[in-house]
Amino acid sequence: MPLIIVVGAQWGDEGKGRIVDYLAAGADFVARYNGGDNAGHTVTVGGKIFRLHLVPSGIVHPHTIAVMGNGMVIHPHTLIEEMTTLRSAGVSIAPQRLHISPAAHLITPAHRALDRAQEAARGRSAIGTTGRGIGPAYMDKAARRGLRMADLLTPNFGERLRAHLQEANRTLSLLDAPELDVETEAQAYLDQISRLALYIRDVSGELALALQRGQTVLAEGAQGTLLDLDHGTYPYVTSSTTVAPAALSGLGLGMNAAREARVVGVVKAFLTRVGAGPFPTELQGKLAERLRGTGANPWDEFGTTTGRPRRVGWLDGVLLRYAVRVNGLTELIVTKLDILSGLETLKICTAYTVNNTHVCDLPGGPDALASCTPLYEELPGWKEDITHVRRWSDLPKNAQRYLERIAALAETPIKMVSLGPEREQIFAL
Ligand code: GDP
Ligand code: IMO
Ligand code: MG
């Protein structure tokens, strides 16, 4: 299957990085198609932890070529820092291995300042963004005034950058936020960014050719289905298209690339969300603390990008069915099943009540979620530590039942189960 698209089926942080790293063993190219360094993807290999924000997670395998597509927004300083960290961990980052689309947009210090100022201005209705400048960068893209990777190579880039910073200062002053020192910021930005020129390639053409040759392209989604700008819980969403079809437009691939594509939805065995917005199955108190963890383990539920504690809850079957539909998922991979070991009873939301009516779908889309009360099905838990299990038949019966119920609700097969953050802590069904 030459194109494999990996997407988050929930609100992000499902373990996409860990799954992409695993699948990348069989891929030639690993390509990010949306978002920027709001993403935090964790890869764990032999106890070594890589926290990736911009570089695709497949980079840890030395045979892969990592691609950053036109759908991305790139903060150059973060990218250069990430490249340096990877190099010092022994990962080769040469221009032959990392290719950036000329049409990818740039995030500037002004976008970050505007993100923070706009969040402050929203007051109690703040979205809880990551503060990485994602929204303002996509705003400039839609307004057709953004700066792109290709602009780096043009002689008037410095002039355009300064004009952009001055324009942002006008908005910052309207928001009563501190203005930027245009000359200092411009100089620091120009010093950094010139180093990226060597990495710019026609990735759209390169990936189309790779697929024609029968090579495997692994598209790595960032964020998750319910954070999608159109299909998520608007306005509590990110500013990019996160769902699987965006892998085509975000990499410059045509519809023919989607024919027979494998579309993998990564599903955490429970549910988490960072930032504000509706979350019908959210838990509070002791059970929430138990699922979140204390922060003592690297996999506990604290944001990879911001360190914020994640909100936690039971798996939501209605939202999962919705994710299957809007992404066209052909299979599910379930992560963090190990975290549920030891819980006496597990719950799965199978439907909602809205105004005394029973609903199993989201007729009005996820915007209506705030008024939905979940209806639960209870399943018995299991006590055994399952982190060493490597085949279906070794899973406790109740863990098998839990997974079977998820697959039945989603009407989609589960193809792999992850039981720990390490590359090998996974098995196929
Ligand atoms: P992503 O944004 O979807 O790539 O996910 P994150 O990396 O932000 O968060 C997932 C966290 O769970 C990371 O710390 C992973 O190392 C960890 N993780 C992934 N799969 C598993 C698993 O099956 N079990 C456990 N215990 N941790 C996992
Ligand atoms: P990965 O790829 C979880 C959330 C933020 C906020 C909303 C908008 O690691 O799964 P933004 O900064 O994008 O404008 O914030 O989206 N958010 C994520 N939540 N995982 C992510 O990425 C996220 N990226 C953004 O918390 O609620
Ligand atoms: Mg993450």
Query: What pLDDT, in 10s, does the model give residues 233-291?
Result: 999 999 999 999 999 999 999 999 999 899 999 999 999 999 999 999 999 999 999 99
| pLDDT average, residue stretch 285-303 | 95
The reply to whether the predicted model has a pTM over 0.95 is: yes
222 lines ligand 2 (CB under 6 A): yes
Same-domain status, 176 and 322:
no
The SS3 of residue 72 is: strand
Ligand 1 pocket test target in 18, 272, 291 with most atoms within 8 Å of CB: 18
pLDDT of residue 368: 79
Average pLDDT, the chain: 96
Same-domain status, 286 and 211:
yes
Q: Give the model confidence (pLDDT) of 154-200 as tens digits.
A: 999 999 999 999 999 999 999 999 999 999 999 999 999 989 999 99
Same-domain status, 222 and 192:
no
The alpha carbon of residue 108 and the mean position of all alpha carbons in its chain are separated, in whole angstroms, by 21
12 lines ligand 2 (CB under 6 A): yes
Asked if 55 contacts 20 with a C-beta cutoff of 8 angstroms, the reply is no
Beta bridge mates, 352: 359, 374
35 lines ligand 1 (CB under 6 A): no
pLDDT of residue 363: 64
pLDDT of residue 40: 96
44 lines ligand 1 (CB under 6 A): yes
* Cα of 40 from ligand 3 centre, angstroms: 4
Same-domain status, 208 and 194:
no
Report helix, strand and coil shares of the chain as percent, to nearest 5.
Answer: 40, 20, 40
Q: Give the model confidence (pLDDT) of 123-161 as tens digits.
A: 999 999 999 999 999 999 999 999 999 999 899 999 999
pLDDT of residue 304: 73
pLDDT of residue 1: 53
With a cut of 90, say whether residue 365 has pLDDT above it: no
| pLDDT average, residue stretch 11-30 | 98
Q: Determine the structural domain holding residue 218 and report its residue range.
A: 3-93+202-428
* Cα of 268 from ligand 3 centre, angstroms: 12
* Cα of 201 from ligand 3 centre, angstroms: 27
Tokens of 93: 């980052």
Same-domain status, 60 and 10:
yes
Q: How far apart are CA 222 and CA 39, in angstroms?
A: 6
CATH number at residue 377: 3.90.170.10
Asked if 80 contacts 47 with a C-beta cutoff of 8 angstroms, the reply is no
With a cut of 90, say whether residue 307 has pLDDT above it: no
CATH number at residue 114: 1.10.300.10
37 lines ligand 1 (CB under 6 A): no
Q: How far apart are CA 258 and CA 262, in angstroms?
A: 8
Q: How far apart are CA 31 and CA 65, in angstroms?
A: 8
Q: Is residue 407 a part of any domain in this protein?
A: yes
Phi and psi of 397, rounded to 5°?
A: -50, -40
Same-domain status, 260 and 395:
yes
The tally of domains found in the chain comes to 2
15 lines ligand 1 (CB under 6 A): yes
Q: Which ligand is nearest to the CA of 310?
A: 2
- Report the nearest-CA residue for atom 9 of ligand 1: 13
Same-domain status, 194 and 210:
no
Is 181 one of the annotated active-site residues of the chain?
no
Same-domain status, 236 and 376:
yes
Q: Which ligand is nearest to the CA of 50?
A: 1
| pLDDT average, residue stretch 54-70 | 97
Is 41 one of the annotated active-site residues of the chain?
yes
| Annotated catalytic residue within 28, 37, 41, 61 | 41
Q: Is residue 334 a part of any domain in this protein?
A: yes
Tokens of 174: 């309207």
> Which atom number of ligand 2 is nearest to the Cα of residue 274?
26
pLDDT of residue 337: 98
| pLDDT average, residue stretch 360-370 | 77
274 lines ligand 2 (CB under 6 A): yes
Q: Which ligand is nearest to the CA of 278?
A: 2
Looking at 199, 221, 254, which one is the last position of a domain? 199
The alpha carbon of residue 59 and the mean position of all alpha carbons in its chain are separated, in whole angstroms, by 16
pLDDT of residue 314: 98
